[in-house]
Amino acid sequence: MPSPRSYRYRVVDVFTTQPLEGNPLAVFPEASGLDDVTMQKIAREMNLSETVFVVPATRASFAAGVRIFTPTRELPFAGHPTVGSSFVLLDEGIVPEGTKQFVLEEKVGPVAIRVETGRVETGERPLIWLTTPPISYGRMYDRLRCAQALGVAAHDLLDITPQWLSAGNPTIFIALADKRAVDSAWLDSHGLSIGCSHPSTACRRTRPREAPRDLWPPS
């Protein structure tokens, strides 16, 4: 029986400057040799919103391949895992120090990364930007039923028709009027099944009469 192989991993906090805050992410920086089934089992064992496995890219122009798993399935793309794994690649030296731009290979396709270097003397971390994959637009949904599914009143929604959007992860975009409406929203899975017929919903707060510009599906 072959000896078990050990794989090193790191847990990083994304979208924060404080330890133990932000969005936690597990990253396996050297995941070559792990098959899909094992990756999924590890992600389930880690039980974080996402776990990333860094693998060799299929093209020399890509810095690395990135596989993103939730505890239940693989994602073609997600924002905070892309940012977090980019930080680990830089911190581990897999992407050379001082690199300002590079490309990751994800299931959705190539994802461009841009790095703003933090000030060394103050211990600042680099600021990492990604280019969202192209957004595709799908069917529209009934505003009143989507309001019901979120447990909010119809007047809590802006006069923007809810719509299916995807930048790798299909999402229903529902524009709410203000922070209070967003904070009070609570997903009713039964209401969603009869009203929107879609498993994933994103709420975005906008100012009244403002059309949504930066559309970002949840990871």
- DSSP β-bridge partners for residue 203: 174
91's CB contacts (< 8 A; 6+ apart) are none
Residue in 73, 69, 79, 57 with CA at minimum distance from that of residue 9:
69
Q: Which of 21, 30, 45, 50 is catalytic?
A: 50
Q: Verify whether residue 45 is a known catalytic residue.
A: no
Backbone φ/ψ region at 168: left (φ over 0), alpha (ψ -120 to 50), beta: left
- Largest CA-CA distance found in the chain, in angstroms, rounded: 66
φ, ψ of residue 74 in degrees (nearest 5): -90, 140
φ, ψ of residue 122 in degrees (nearest 5): -105, 0
Q: For Cα atoms 38, 42, 43, give the angle at the middle one, nearest 5 degrees.
A: 115
The catalytic site residues sit at 50
